[in-house]
């Protein structure tokens, strides 16, 4: 297993729809193992393949939950069904997200409180479960990466402007920027 560099906002693979995984083989399982290793080194709760420069529809997660779902898993070619997203403004204390590809920054975002996740594991076996609360938020966040969206693309105007200003200040928005979990300082201070 290998820890891989995490791409930063502006890398083209992060901003386009990822392609379906068509072959479940040792190469895919090796990629999944590397993703778990990278997510652990980054102290992440989830990591989508585009975040390591791979334009494929899969993500890994690691989150202790109350939904009866294993704490760590992978979903390949996921489909999400969501409950309604509240139209209320996000609570800046309760609904704050961060992203390994927008490192070190946090902004509030309203998400659905429930989701059903369907897809496959790394061997091509069906996966089907429900998630609530923060676990549901994590899964929605990772799924968005597969459609070429980062959470900052969903922010309300006030926070979107702050995020874009911070990205410009950090020199992001151009291809080729990465950070290396376990080598570079942890952007979230874990």
**Category of 80 on φ-ψ map: left (φ > 0), alpha (ψ -120 to 50) or beta:** beta
Q: Is 190 annotated as a binding residue?
A: no
The whole-angstrom separation of Cα 132 and Cα 54 is 28
Q: Is 145 annotated as a binding residue?
A: yes
SS3 116: strand
The whole-angstrom separation of Cα 50 and Cα 100 is 11
Q: Is 95 annotated as a binding residue?
A: no
Degrees to nearest 5, angle at CA 135 with 146 and 31: 45
The whole-angstrom separation of Cα 180 and Cα 155 is 26
User: Which residues have a catalytic role annotated?
Assistant: 142
Q: How far is CA 171 from CA 9, 17, 166, 186, in A?
A: 10, 24, 9, 18
The binding site for Fe cation consists of 99, 141, 145
- Which segments are annotated as binding site? 99, 141, 145
């Amino acid at each position: 297993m290998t820890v891989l560099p995490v791409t930063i906002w502006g890398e083209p693979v992060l901003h386009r729809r990822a392609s379906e995984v068509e072959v479940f083989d040792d190469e895919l399982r090796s990629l999944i193992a590397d993703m778990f290793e990278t997510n652990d080194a980054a102290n992440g709760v989830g990591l989508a393949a585009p975040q390591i420069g791979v334009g494929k529809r899969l993500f890994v997660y690691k989150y202790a939950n109350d939904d009866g779902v294993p704490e760590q898993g992978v979903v390949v070619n996921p489909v999400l069904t969501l409950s309604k997203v509240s139209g209320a403004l996000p609570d800046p204390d309760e609904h704050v997200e961060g992203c390994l590809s927008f490192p070190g920054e946090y902004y509030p975002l309203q998400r659905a409180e429930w989701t059903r996740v369907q897809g496959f594991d790394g061997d091509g076996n069906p996966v089907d479960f429900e998630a609530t609360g923060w676990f549901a938020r994590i899964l929605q966040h990772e799924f968005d990466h597969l459609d070429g969206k980062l959470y900052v693309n969903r922010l309300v105007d006030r926070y979107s402007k702050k995020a874009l200003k911070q990205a410009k200040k950090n020199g992001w928005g151009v291809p080729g920027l990465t950070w290396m979990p376990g080598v570079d300082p942890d952007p979230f201070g874990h």
